[in-house]
Amino acid sequence: MNAPLRIAIVTPMLPVPFDQTRGRYIHETARSLGRLATVRTFFQTLRYPRLPGLTSRSFIYGEVGPDYTLDGCDVEHYAYPALPVLTRGLNGHLASWALTPRARRFQPDVMLGYWVYPDGYAALRTARQLDIPCVIGALGSDIHVRDGLNARMTRRAIEGADALVTVSEAMRGYAIAHYGAAPERVHTVVNGFNTAVFRPMDQATLRRKLGVKADEKLIVYVGRFVEAKGMRELVDAFTTLAQRDPRVCLALVGDGTMKAQLMDLVRATGLTDRVHLPGGLPPEQVAEWINAADTLTLPSWSEGYPNVVVEAVACGRPVVGTDVGGMREILDAHNGVLIPARDTAALTEALAGVLARQWDQQAIAARIRRTWDDVAADTLKVCEAVVAQRRAAVHA
């Protein structure tokens, strides 16, 4: 292809002022892909009526202003009207109606929708109207945590896409087995990390900067505050460990819809003075907390290919994670411990074992090198392939 490919990315997940950790991996992919192709990112969000109770239970809901920008990206934000639960089956159509005229003005060669339903489905509907191919990117919960109408619409999106990109081999197998995806159309493109940000740094220096005592045994969690991330299990495990050892502390980096409940759980432990709550942070500050910690944990019930685990390994920190999704493709005995999901006792003992062991920071970090430029190059290959297939079919 002579001219750079024109790619329209469609996603509901990007960093926003009220939730800076949301969709960082999509931001990084879009930014790197923009150096290889002509890319516009269509950031579509739901607009709920201003009524009590009509907000998302999974993500912090907030208004994205008309002046929204994203570093290194050509981004266009818009919102479409929706009601929680009630419009679930229509959201893909509503999103497409809002997307199509915007995408038509951009004149893309291919649509790339991240988050299978409703956003990937919206990208698919728009692609069909523009007579161009569509690639859908599955990220984790958008295929693992689906039931009822959501599952049916997810299957419809996967069946209609010209290609499906998954972030782990485990997810690829799941899409084929549970959604009937054609194996030849499913491609694994695992996440990378920002090598300039996530790298080993001096722990003592960062502890002084962040107010962490030199002798603390610091466990860090980074992510959304939602029950499915294993937040209750984490607080319970921390409570047990803290009762055993007065040096054990916990840092909860992030924000989410469970924040109020989580604060209640922390207060109930009587250990609030040993819990750091820095809030949602940009990547540079996330990297500082990871490097200040002794271990990172992610006790999720479901995952795709969790980027925070990659980032922790890149910083040389061992990880305690649940054996879900693509976690096994990142962690082994040399850089962490895998445990069953929803098992508080296993989480407690795994964290105790990791804190008691001496780890080689540089050796852990040396095992991972994949960058966002690698991710962008692999994603571009998938997009180029479906465009070439479509053009060959037209000229056949």
* pTM to 2 decimal places: 0.87
Domain ranges across the chain: 6-192+372-395, 203-365
Which one has a higher pLDDT value, 160 or 367? 160
Please report which confidence band the pLDDT of residue 395 belongs to, taking 50, 70 and 90 as the band edges: confident
| CA distance linking residue 101 with residue 269, whole number of Å | 53
Contact 37, 4 (CB under 8 A): yes
- In DSSP terms, 77 is beta-bridged to 43
**Residue 122 amino acid letter:** A
pLDDT tens per residue across span 221-269: 999 899 999 999 999 999 999 999 999 999 999 988 899 999 999 999 9
- Containing 264, the helix (H) or strand (E) segment is helix 259-269
Residue 137 backbone dihedrals phi, psi, to 5 degrees: -105, 120
- What does the pLDDT read at residue 54? 55
| CA distance linking residue 169 with residue 11, whole number of Å | 22
pLDDT tens per residue across span 314-337: 999 999 999 998 999 999 999 999
pLDDT tens per residue across span 49-94: 765 555 555 556 677 878 899 999 999 999 998 877 677 788 889 9
Please report which confidence band the pLDDT of residue 298 belongs to, taking 50, 70 and 90 as the band edges: very high
What mean pLDDT is reported for the chain? Answer: 92
**CATH fold of 6-192+372-395:** Rossmann fold (3.40.50)
Query: Cβ neighbours of residue 161 under 8 Å, at least 6 residues apart?
Result: 120, 124, 134, 135, 136, 185
Superfamily of domain 203-365: Glycogen Phosphorylase B; (3.40.50.2000)
One fold for both 6-192+372-395 and 203-365? Answer: yes
N residues, the chain: 396
pLDDT tens per residue across span 167-198: 999 999 999 999 999 999 999 999 999 999 99
Is 181 in a helix, a strand, or coil? coil
Query: Cβ neighbours of residue 274 under 8 Å, at least 6 residues apart?
Result: 242, 248, 249, 250
